[in-house]
Chains A and B, each alone.
Chain A
Amino acid sequence: AQTVTQSQPEMSVQEAETVTLSCTYDTSENNYYLFWYKQPPSRQMILVIRQEAYKQQNATENRFSVNFQKAAKSFSLKISDSQLGDTAMYFCAFMKPYNTDKLIFGTGTRLQVFP
Chain B
Amino acid sequence: EPEVTQTPSHQVTQMGQEVILRCVPISNHLYFYWYRQILGQKVEFLVSFYNNEISEKSEIFDDQFSVERPDGSNFTLKIRSTKLEDSAMYFCASKRTSARQETQYFGPGTRLLVL
A96 to B100, CA, bound (A): 8
List residues of chain B with CB under 8 Å of any chain A CB.
Answer: 3-4, 31, 33, 35, 40-45, 48, 56, 58, 91, 95, 98, 100-101, 103-108
List residues of chain A with CB under 8 Å of any chain B CB.
Answer: 4, 33, 37, 42-47, 50, 52, 91, 93, 95-98, 100-108
Whether the pair B108, A103 counts as a contact (CB closer than 8 A) is no
Given contacts A93-B43, A101-B48, A102-B56, 20 further A-B contacts (CB under 8 A): A4-B42, A33-B100, A37-B106, A44-B3, A44-B105, A46-B105, A47-B104, A95-B101, A97-B100, A98-B100, A100-B48, A101-B31, A101-B95, A102-B33, A102-B48, A104-B45, A105-B43, A107-B40, A107-B41, A107-B42
A105 to B43, CA, bound (A): 6
Question: What are the residues of chain A within 8 A of B108 when measuring CB–CB?
Answer: 42-44
The 3 residue pairs across chains A and B that have the minimum distance between CB atoms: A45-B106, A105-B43, A102-B45
Whether the pair B35, A44 counts as a contact (CB closer than 8 A) is no
Question: What are the residues of chain A within 8 A of B31 when measuring CB–CB?
Answer: 101
